Chains A and B, each alone.
Chain A
Amino acid sequence: MSGKVICANRLRDGIVVYLAAGNEWSEWISRSEIARDDVTAEVLLAKARRAEADRIVIDPYLIDVTEIDGEVCPVRYRERIRASGPSVRPDLSKQNRVPGVSGEGA
């Protein structure tokens, strides 16, 4: 299934985050809230803009994603790299970092 999620950078440390349920921002795209239609996408974007005004994130925007075997995967390879970390440093990749252990668990 395809849809859209919001990504942004967190203001205080610049780390890439995704808008998750409950107005939380998560470092893991797997936690993101997926918009299945344009109306929902606009609602998510409006939430993100409020978070931008509240100085939680900067530069929020919508990206296209697909779900493959339950995994949320961005369509564009730029966004895939953004979601998982530098492809040349698997030791730093987000998949290798355990949620709740490093950074914010949300």
Chain B
Amino acid sequence: MALIRNRELAQDDWVYLEDDTPVPAEGGVIVSRARWQAERDVLAGRNAPIGVRLAPGDGPEVVAADAGRLDLVAIPFDHFKDGRGYSTARLLRQRHGFTGELRAVGNVLRDQLAFLERCGFDSFEYAGATDPAAALRAFDEISVVYQTAVDRRATAAARRNHPSQAFANGTSG
């Protein structure tokens, strides 16, 4: 398992905490959504980064109210066919103002990376069997985007109609 963050291979400075493991005083921890809901005040009161891993099927509303308190939200992709997390990510970013690390976890494959990034993910637990460095190329394979999304890439329409604004507003909504 390799971690890709902001299009680079990165060291993972977070640890997953099982639900029955005591909370360490220091260091970034990622807890399950259930534990977060049960121990929110204790966890948020630590003087260290805190992240939550959503369960499959959890929508953005599960952590929307905490968007300002969380440093990381991990969204599971247990099967590439399950695309709910793409909407969850967009809504967390665009509607609920989440600005922390948004991490795609589970069975994340090379050919999903570009879509995931456009929906607001900035880190990926890459599950591909092949060289993770080669997977980084997947972000740049297609240079054209037709839709506004979380990333600030100028859409085809924006480039055609306002060629001077190479990075027209792509984040509202």
Whether A and B touch (Cβ < 8 Å) is answered with no
Residues of A within 8 A of B (CB): none
